[in-house]
Amino acid sequence: MSENKTLDLFNSRLESAENAHRPRAEKWRHLEKVFRGQSYPPPTRETKGRARIFPPWCYQQVETIKPRLIDPEPTFRYLPVEPSDEPKARILDKVVKYQLEQNAFVEKQPLFIHDAMVKSFAVAKVVQAYECVKTKKRVKRGPMDFLLGRSPVKETKVVVKNWPDVIYVDPFDFMWDPSATSDRDWRYVFHRSWVTIDDLRAREAEGIYSNVSELVDSIGGGLEDQRGLDETPEEARARRGNRIELIEMWERNRLVVVANRRVILRDEENPYWHKQIPFVTFNTQPQQNSLIGISEVETIEHLQEHLWTMRNLRVDAVKLAIHKVLILDPTIKNANDIRWTHGGKIFAANGQRVEWVNIDPNAAPSMNEEQMALQDMQTVSGADPLLAGQSAPSANDTATGASIAQEEANKRMAMKKMQFRIFAARLAKLMVQLNYQYLDDDYVIRVAGKAGEAYEHVSPDDIPLLLDVRPVGLNESISKSVERNSILEVMNVLAPMHGQPLGDGSKVDVKSLIERLVRTYDMEPDEFFPQMDPMEQQAQQMQQMGMDPNVLAQPGAGAPAQPQPEMQADMSAADPNATGDVGMIQ
């Protein structure tokens, strides 16, 4: 295909993708303001003097959930397609964990989770990163170097980065095939970035780009939506300065890179052997036949506005009760000049009317309505107050009831976290495939273990071509949550009867239930039920039987009873083999 036809196809697809992207970008900008509590209406003449208190309730809900979705050390299962690859799959977990650490993936997770919860769309890019820098290295000094006090050095190149890189992509700079229903069936995508002319020249020197000389140091075109939340289009252009708009168009078998929408810098086959578009998307609430999920903020936006209304109405009522309305006779001179002051006076002639309007600021209905709205918000979002470390809503709630409520909230958190773990597993699979392509020499990785950090060597033959990657702990976390809920329900019934005798002579004992509950948290009950000292146990039993446990403190107490002398004699007579006066039976 000629350059002109390629450029026509590129711009035609880009225009279609941008048209579909504009309403999304506008909606995302609105949701970001809702999240920050900045979506309140501007003041008007009619609302002048009224309360304008807008707590960011959506922010509180999202930030309560976000820490529970972050996975500091994601773990995966690597399932080889061929039996001969099974030993190779075992080393992959260490390789990918090390590379994710080099990627600072844990620092990028809050960005992905924020976009998924607020915009209902997050996207990551997985590419091979390679960086080589020039540095200086000391060489062995000769006799003249010692005499002249020189320290000879030589220039050398050092590879500082050579691994798969997980890149956070701003959703505002990412557009895709409008007909796609998921990231598995899109035909093409666009990724925009802003670079300097020096960056492009360096890439051209490496043989990656061409035609850089055709560019002029000027700002490219683009959507006005590509700006900061509080920026105007003019401010965004001024901030970018002379940076050049660079847009990559990825297909499964092709990569086209265009600068300023008119110069093709790269047009070649997809450089990756896996022949996939190297982007993975994520949201916490998927929606059928759509790349965009359901925003956590969108579902509670109206409740936040309702809470604002209740709060401001209550504040206005209190202000009116304190700063009362004054009724004046219109015949009073200079009535419009009367101002409230402490100790002020109002002079009225005989028969002229001056009185206050008494307003009862009954805040109870407003408080009740606000509490109901807040509970509705917590119910919709799943951000139970127990997750935020707050107390149970009612003082009459038992600890068991609170634990059950928290477990119910944990189930919803587990479902959201499942989406993130699937997202991370898909990233890991792309990383493994890039390792298979680019790992051409022995590779040293740092492995943290119980005995400290160690180093292992990985060779290219250790990376299998075909395998499946599955996140660990999806079903386990949900099933354990269900099990905990069941145990807590049984304990709630049996706890009041603990220690009471039953009809068959047995007693109710909830210890076994507590042990099962502890094991659902992957802990051993022995940590909570240490073995009791035998003497202490005997004293406790005596106390339960109504006996005085202090007798155990007397000399000889608790020691085995010794046979009496007459008993020893009888035992010796009964057994001629008994020796001495020990009284032992042989």
Asked whether the predicted pLDDT for residue 87 surpasses 60, the reply is yes
**Distance between CA atoms of 167 and 170, rounded to whole angstroms?**
10
Query: What's the rounded Cα separation, in Å, for the pair 552 and 542?
Result: 10
The Cα–Cα gap between 557 and 446 comes to: 59
Measured between its terminal Cα atoms, the distance across the chain in Å is: 105
CA distance 171 to 122: 7
The DSSP output letter for 253 is: S
| 78 found inside a domain | yes
Percent of the chain with pLDDT over 70: 73
Structural domain harbouring 307: 62-92+298-324+359-497
Q: Is residue 28 part of a domain?
A: no
pLDDT tens-digit readout, 354-367: 676 677 777 788 88
Q: Is residue 344 part of a domain?
A: no
3-class DSSP state for residue 316?
helix
Instruction: Say yes or no to pLDDT of 395 above 50.
Output: no
145, 139 in Cβ contact below 8 A? no
Length of the chain: 586
Average of pLDDT values for 304-332?
Answer: 82
Backbone angles phi, psi at 72, to 5 degrees: -60, -35
In a domain, 438, yes or no: yes
| Total domains, the chain | 1
Please give the C-alpha separations between residue 296 and each of 52, 60, 124, 308, in angstroms, as whole numbers: 25, 12, 20, 19
569 found inside a domain = no
19 forms beta bridges with none
In which band, very low, low, confident or very high, does the pLDDT at 413 lie, cut at 50, 70 and 90? confident
Alpha helices, DSSP H, located in 70-121:
86-102, 105-118
Residue 104 lies in a domain: no
In Å, what is the CA distance from 487 to each residue of 308, 403, 514, 528? Answer: 40, 11, 8, 17
> For residues 66 and 531, which has the higher predicted lDDT (pLDDT)?
66
* Residue pair 327/301 in contact by the 8 Å Cβ criterion: no
Contact between 260 and 214 under an 8 Å Cβ cutoff? The reply is: no
Q: How do residues 176-228 score in pLDDT, each as one tens digit?
A: 999 999 999 999 999 999 998 889 999 999 899 999 988 865 545 555 545 66
Would you say 56 and 37 are in contact if contact means Cβ atoms under 8 Å apart? Answer: yes
Beta strands in 337-482 (DSSP E): 354-357, 443-449, 452-458, 467-471
Find the mean pLDDT for residues 108-124: 96
Type of residue numbered 37: G
**Residues above pLDDT 90, as percent of the chain:** 31
Residue of higher predicted confidence among 61 and 523: 61
The answer to whether position 477 is within a domain reads: yes
> Is the residue at 237 inside a domain?
no
The pTM (predicted TM-score) of the whole model is 0.72
CA-to-CA separations, 440 to 97, 225, 460, 463, in angstroms, rounded:
19, 42, 6, 11
**Pairwise CA distance, residues 219 & 414, whole Å:** 45
